Chain A
């Protein structure tokens, strides 16, 4: 790592962010990462002295939702810190250059900094019609992603589309859309940050971790960082006491809904969705989906557009829901079939989770970068 110097701290001071606030930011990040508080100092040290790593952000079959989420990165000035901590050399939605000047930037990075840059991929990669379903500068997405990720130090598949195929890959997958892992076989140092979109707080924490340690944090079997996807929504939900007490929302706007009862019966997928929404919240902790009164959609899980739908059908036979509470068969429409598919999915998830220790070992191996 070249270009040592206190530039970042200097930068921050110039714009009125004190060392103390910066240290506080770093311990917030450490908190999200579930690291010991002392790690905050280590993060601060690494961020203040490191060279700005180059980041290339590719968008394919996406909605720019993760880009927008990234722009909401939290205070103290995480967007500032990230924009200045990283050198975001290519990002179509925000970059000033266009056309062949933009393509030239990408080419320079790939050939000039081979093996040294980070890639974020947003959106899935279509394989149908010989790649004509998504072209940039006349080149197919498949061609671009293979080249750019192939020479990268590491890749973050951000959002469920890039991580697992997401909505374009939902049945009947009209364009033959693939996740990054499937589009670039043998890709090195891939990490998945699913959710629709991914939470800026998790992306910020992940990038800071990488800048600090030069490798990814421990991952689960789906290559998701355990700090953000280690527990279910249901594990930490503020409505959990109501679930345990058998107090459910029955109708939109009923007394239970107004009092914050559990959303299980109106379709909540929190019990089978692994993510840290209840702990970190969204938009600087302003709120989160279950907090606003709507069931969790399960958006961080593979194939959620197929496996978690119909969204308002409640989970059935979920292991752990073994209280004697009577759950009506609300909305009989297709619930049973879906629930059957779902039950299997949930069990697989749980089995995977049991293998957490293995996943960690696995990541210690594959998460390293050279």
Chain B
């Protein structure tokens, strides 16, 4: 049994450490540890609830919209503000753009280098790459001349002897399986996607002034005025600009991302049997298609237990508990608690830095272990697509069916590392197709003369109850996100977040049940202990976002969670 450590896990957001025991070439045991936190929930206490979104937004600069959305929803729920249709549609466009951009960046810039060997691209025949590219897509940048240019660029880069961000990686590792021409194709698209992501987020800049950290969120609505005929508002020109950016996004996703994903996946089908994990999936549902509280969601909510796609259960937020048995917090009696009765008393008992190994028998992470009805849940694109598939979402069933038939496999392969990669692509395709429709709905609504962007009746704190609690749920790119706020006398008495990466990256619970990362790593092959690329493949398939996960902290050890679920 060899104990290995991967720290820092790179190409993620935040600070993550994986320790694992490897025997006979596969992982027997794994521990996931988050090694940074800031205490943003505590910083929020005592502040104006209308400011909370800006603070919460800084939990993550990668998914730069998601905490702002969850925060304004939580405060609106507490004070009874009702955002008008324009605000809902503006949020829809912002959320979908975030999802699309984030998923593509994850695939090319955070995950691809686990599957794509840049060095091998140097020995590719550009003509073969051109043939491959043209056989899978009619994307115009596909000539041999173009790929030769990319190859020369990479060659120049390598020849200069300064490999920069590509230095000292696992190049040449035997588990890189793409032929050189496919590697060259992927490298070319890595660079194209770098340009593309700058363009697509201009939708965010048009609406929110800038990306990252757009600035048009508002409790009760959105701060971007709409008026078809005003230069200083979202007008017909902005609509036209957004529609064109959305069309470009759809084209890139359809003609570059999805074909690349399918081509790369076809060389790694063994990863459809690796990295399964806990087998339970959760989605809060997202993209309400109307103002009513029970309006249908474009992506449905639900719970799947033990991979049973035929029985998608309704979601009951009251069944969420958190355990701190293996987290650096005080643990009174060891019983898992509903987060709103829970206490967050940090108490670091790990080794003093610098350290080599964590005490994996005891406490070993700043993340808690959230559970649903006592069970660990995987959240994220795979969970959402499985719930939608199980609930009979027609377009999701169609897209899943087409991916499975192209790879020549059955639905059971979805529960895997490769399944996560595929689900992220399917979801991106789905939302890129839907985005334009929401832009049209916004145009139609303002065209009808509805220029309302906010519920101003609840802006003044004197209109609020003396004491109120509220929940804001959101499906972020990485999964189910919830914010809970308790407002007293116009200011925040308590604030709680349970975020996607806490669900996925959390440590073992009091029963010893591993979290989704830990479970998914079991049985993962490791060919070379010095270069555990396989561990990165599975961990990256979840798209870790650790700064999000770790924020529940009170340095003085006196945060008492009092928020009730509504």
A binds B: yes
Interface residues of chain A, those whose CB is within 8 Å of chain B, are 3, 7, 10-11, 14-16, 52, 54, 59-69, 71-75, 77, 79-80, 83-84, 86-89, 91-105, 126, 128-141, 143, 166-168, 170-177, 196-197, 199, 251-253, 257-260, 282-284, 286-294, 297, 305, 309-312, 331, 333-334
Q: Taking CB as reference atom, which chain B residue is nearest A72?
A: B198
Complex interface bits, B20-46 against A, C-beta within 8 A gives 1, otherwise 0: 000000000000000111111011000
Question: Are B156 and A333 neighbours in the complex by a CB distance under 8 Å?
Answer: no
Question: Are B459 and A251 neighbours in the complex by a CB distance under 8 Å?
Answer: yes
The stretch of B71-79, B199-207, B477-485 in contact with A is: B199-207
Known: A62-B547, A105-B167, A252-B459. A134 touches B15 (CB 8 A): yes
Complex interface bits, B537-559 against A, C-beta within 8 A gives 1, otherwise 0: 00000000001000001111000
Total A-B pairs in contact (CB under 8 Å)? 337
Taking the closest CB of chain B, its distance from the CB of A154, in whole angstroms, is 18
Question: Are B216 and A294 neighbours in the complex by a CB distance under 8 Å?
Answer: yes
Question: Are A63 and B60 neighbours in the complex by a CB distance under 8 Å?
Answer: yes
Question: Are B532 and A99 neighbours in the complex by a CB distance under 8 Å?
Answer: yes
Question: Are B8 and A72 neighbours in the complex by a CB distance under 8 Å?
Answer: no
Question: Are A172 and B11 neighbours in the complex by a CB distance under 8 Å?
Answer: no
Known: A172-B555, A309-B47. A294 touches B211 (CB 8 A): no
How far is it, in angstroms, between the C-alpha of A98 and the C-alpha of B11 when the chains are bound? 8
Known: A64-B62, A196-B213. A293 touches B354 (CB 8 A): no
Interface pairs A-B: 5 shortest CB-CB: A65-B61, A260-B232, A174-B39, A174-B555, A282-B210
Taking the closest CB of chain A, its distance from the CB of B553, in whole angstroms, is 6
Question: Are B165 and A252 neighbours in the complex by a CB distance under 8 Å?
Answer: no
Question: Are A139 and B555 neighbours in the complex by a CB distance under 8 Å?
Answer: no
Q: Taking CB as reference atom, which chain B residue is nearest A78?
A: B198
Complex interface bits, B449-465 against A, C-beta within 8 A gives 1, otherwise 0: 00111101001110000
How far is it, in angstroms, between the C-alpha of A296 and the C-alpha of B556 when the chains are bound? 32
Q: Please list 19 pairs of residues, one from A and one from B, whose beta carbons are closer than 8 Å in the complex, sorted by A's number.
A: A14-B156, A52-B160, A65-B62, A84-B157, A87-B164, A93-B13, A95-B11, A96-B166, A97-B168, A99-B532, A101-B168, A135-B353, A138-B7, A172-B556, A174-B555, A197-B212, A283-B198, A293-B233, A294-B215
By size class, the interface of chain B is 35 or more
Does B194 touch A at the CB level, under 8 Å? yes
Does B58 touch A at the CB level, under 8 Å? yes
How far is it, in angstroms, between the C-alpha of A97 and the C-alpha of B119 when the chains are bound? 14
Complex interface bits, B230-261 against A, C-beta within 8 A gives 1, otherwise 0: 11110000000000000000000000000000
Question: Are B51 and A292 neighbours in the complex by a CB distance under 8 Å?
Answer: no
Tell which of B60, B205, B531 has the most Cβ of chain A within 10 Å.
B205
Instruction: Please name all residues of chain B whose beta carbon is closer than 8 Å to the beta carbon of A64 when the two chains form the complex.
Output: 13-14, 60-62, 547
Question: Are A98 and B6 neighbours in the complex by a CB distance under 8 Å?
Answer: yes
Question: Are A128 and B353 neighbours in the complex by a CB distance under 8 Å?
Answer: no
Q: Taking CB as reference atom, which chain A residue is nearest B86?
A: A253
Instruction: Please name all residues of chain A whose beta carbon is closer than 8 Å to the beta carbon of B210 when the two chains form the complex.
Output: 199, 282-283, 287-289
Complex interface bits, B143-161 against A, C-beta within 8 A gives 1, otherwise 0: 0000001001100110010
Q: Taking CB as reference atom, which chain A residue is nearest B4?
A: A99
Tell which of B42, B43, B204, B352 has the most Cβ of chain A within 10 Å.
B43
Q: Taking CB as reference atom, which chain B residue is nearest A101?
A: B168
Chain B interface secondary structure, helix, strand, loop or mixed? loop
Does B224 touch A at the CB level, under 8 Å? yes
Taking the closest CB of chain A, its distance from the CB of B93, in whole angstroms, is 13
Instruction: Please name all residues of chain A whose beta carbon is closer than 8 Å to the beta carbon of B352 when the two chains form the complex.
Output: 130, 132
Additional A-B contacts beyond A133-B38, A253-B454, A297-B54 (12; CB < 8 A): A68-B64, A71-B105, A75-B198, A79-B195, A92-B10, A130-B353, A174-B555, A253-B226, A287-B208, A293-B224, A293-B233, A294-B223
Q: Taking CB as reference atom, which chain A residue is nearest B165?
A: A95
Question: Are B10 and A62 neighbours in the complex by a CB distance under 8 Å?
Answer: no
Taking the closest CB of chain B, its distance from the CB of A219, in whole angstroms, is 24
Question: Are A65 and B168 neighbours in the complex by a CB distance under 8 Å?
Answer: no
Question: Are B547 and A63 neighbours in the complex by a CB distance under 8 Å?
Answer: yes
Instruction: Please name all residues of chain A whose beta carbon is closer than 8 Å to the beta carbon of B55 when the two chains form the complex.
Output: 167, 170, 305
Instruction: Please name all residues of chain A whose beta carbon is closer than 8 Å to the beta carbon of B531 when the two chains form the complex.
Output: 101
Question: Are A71 and B198 neighbours in the complex by a CB distance under 8 Å?
Answer: yes
Does B169 touch A at the CB level, under 8 Å? yes
How far is it, in angstroms, between the C-alpha of A143 and the C-alpha of B456 when the chains are bound? 49
Instruction: Please name all residues of chain A whose beta carbon is closer than 8 Å to the beta carbon of B348 when the two chains form the complex.
Output: 129, 132
Does B104 touch A at the CB level, under 8 Å? no
How far is it, in angstroms, between the C-alpha of A139 and the C-alpha of B215 when the chains are bound? 35
Selected from A72, A94, A129, A138, the residue in CB contact (under 8 A) with B11 is: A94
Complex interface bits, B410-434 against A, C-beta within 8 A gives 1, otherwise 0: 0000000000000000000000000
Taking the closest CB of chain B, its distance from the CB of A131, in whole angstroms, is 5
How far is it, in angstroms, between the C-alpha of A102 and the C-alpha of B532 when the chains are bound? 13
How far is it, in angstroms, between the C-alpha of A196 and the C-alpha of B157 when the chains are bound? 32
How far is it, in angstroms, between the C-alpha of A181 and the C-alpha of B202 when the chains are bound? 34
Question: Are A333 and B490 neighbours in the complex by a CB distance under 8 Å?
Answer: yes
How far is it, in angstroms, between the C-alpha of A197 and the C-alpha of B51 when the chains are bound? 17
Selected from A11, A88, A100, the residue in CB contact (under 8 A) with B153 is: A11
Instruction: Please name all residues of chain B whose beta carbon is closer than 8 Å to the beta carbon of A199 when the two chains form the complex.
Output: 210
Question: Are A168 and B38 neighbours in the complex by a CB distance under 8 Å?
Answer: yes
Taking the closest CB of chain B, its distance from the CB of A237, in whole angstroms, is 12
Instruction: Please name all residues of chain A whose beta carbon is closer than 8 Å to the beta carbon of B547 when the two chains form the complex.
Output: 62-64
Q: Taking CB as reference atom, which chain B residue is nearest A160?
A: B58
Does B109 touch A at the CB level, under 8 Å? yes
Does B221 touch A at the CB level, under 8 Å? yes
Question: Are A167 and B43 neighbours in the complex by a CB distance under 8 Å?
Answer: yes
Question: Are A143 and B354 neighbours in the complex by a CB distance under 8 Å?
Answer: yes
Instruction: Please name all residues of chain A whose beta carbon is closer than 8 Å to the beta carbon of B167 when the two chains form the complex.
Output: 89, 95-97, 105
How far is it, in angstroms, between the C-alpha of A84 and the C-alpha of B207 when the chains are bound? 32
Taking the closest CB of chain B, its distance from the CB of A192, in whole angstroms, is 18
Question: Are B453 and A253 neighbours in the complex by a CB distance under 8 Å?
Answer: yes
Known: A52-B162, A63-B547, A138-B7. A97 touches B169 (CB 8 A): yes
